[in-house]
Amino acid sequence: MAFDFNIKNAYCKRVWDDVSTRYADQEHFLQAAGLVLETISPVVDTMPELESMAVLERFVEPERIIMFRVPWTDDQGKPHVNRGFRVQFNSAIGPYKGGLRFSPEVGLDVLKFLGFEQVLKNSLTTLPMGGGKGGSDFDAHGKSDGEVMRFCQSFMTELYRHIGPDTDVPAGDKGVGGREVAWMFGQYKRIKNEFTGVLTGKGLDFGGSLIRPEATGYGLIYFAECMLAKMGTDFKGKTALISGDGNVAQYACEKATQLGAKVITLSDSSGYILDEDGIDAEKLAYVMEFRAAHKKIDEYVKKYPKAKFFKGEKPWGVKADLAFPCATQDEIYLQDAEKLVANGVKLVAEGANMPTREDAIKFLQKSGVIFAPGKASNAGGVAVSGLEMSQNSERLSWTREEVDAKLKQIMTNIHDNAYETAEKYATKQDYVSGANIYGFLKVARAMMAQGLV
């Protein structure tokens, strides 16, 4: 795909030309890197020391990429081999931190883009965490518990030597929930003979944190609440579109509803459901129930026949005030953005990682839609992972109320820092530029302070 970035700073442009040539086949990574290089140009103009210390050249390259094979056997004793990865992108402000994704689309392009975004996201939280990402092209669908457990154990048997509580602290991501984290943690403990906070997203009985499953969805809505306040309004009486039906979508739906919004859509890879009466607490509990049983979203209309199911479609053509893409990358293309604008949406905040394409983002912004990038608005998950690391280090466990209050404060701080930075360097309410510049500056200053490493 050809990108149309307007990179005005000569240093940023030179780095973009180099990276886009070298990694021409890595479309997702290039979109992430190009958008950052475009938006940080104003601050790079004021800091010539960045070029003299080759900060940008280092910033766009991972410190380390680890690739390995993952052999495992199925229930019939047949051997299989998958590919495993860990992209340790930047450790300037703390140990690498980022999830593990088990999904067929996993490869270097996807993991580099996720790791690159994670560097800035973790910086925005102000917690001492670097950025990384990892995973495997393993697909758990149709696999037994025993097969998934054996895969997780084999994956950790290689990964364990590259991670540690002060080196690299993975978490879950798409395809990796509490079950998989627990099996990997058990294998790490077995190999290393030590109990440390080497993984986050653990069960509450062995070092996990309250609010972690809810954190990304809740944090998204807390961030959007701050955006709405800047617009002089709130969630009360607003109609919201949410894509996805996993943890992020579920808990975004729950919190938005609690704050007075009416959520009318959820989706999965098969299509979306539209419930114009709103997906209330009772209906959401049913979604959580059939989702846990790995059933598709059309299950919803079987119990609530007034709702409609749209096979193979996305919910962005429905009239609403707010939109929260919470499924996966590449959900909102330019034509989807045009539908959102035509149907009156005034705010889009990303719950997933880079669900909106670069040209769609720019169209939304030009059309007056207030847009929040995932590195800012979905940082609640990694923020609570950081809080879990703190609890593990102190051998403490905070209450649900304590963690929720800390999460809300972190999301408020991320919002305010992005908003104020945008006002200083870019355009008012340009959360993309504000988040990128604020996150970059902290990492860049740490990189320069530590020398050419």
Candidates 208, 173, 121, 210; CA nearest to 405 is 210
Angle between helices 431-449 and 108-124 (to 10 degrees): 90
Q: What is the pLDDT of residue 394?
A: 87
Q: What is the pLDDT of residue 427?
A: 81
* Distance between CA atoms of residues 221 and 297, nearest Å: 22
pLDDT tens figures, 118-163: 999 999 999 999 999 999 999 998 999 999 999 999 999 999 999 9
Q: What is the pLDDT of residue 23?
A: 97
Given a cut of 50, the residues of the chain with pLDDT beneath it are none
AA letter at 50 = L
AA letter at 54 = A
Contact 388, 169 (CB under 8 A): no
pTM: 0.93
Candidates 443, 450, 448, 383; CA nearest to 90 is 443
Positive or negative, the CA dihedral 130, 419, 428, 334 is positive
pLDDT tens figures, 259-269: 999 999 999 99
AA letter at 213 = P
Candidates 49, 42, 126; CA nearest to 415 is 126
Q: What is the pLDDT of residue 1?
A: 61
DSSP 270: T
Respond yes or no: is residue 362 known to be catalytic.
no
Distance of CA 59 to the CA centre of its chain: 19
Q: Which of 97, 133, 174, 375 is catalytic?
A: 133
Q: What is the pLDDT of residue 219?
A: 97
Q: What is the pLDDT of residue 335?
A: 98
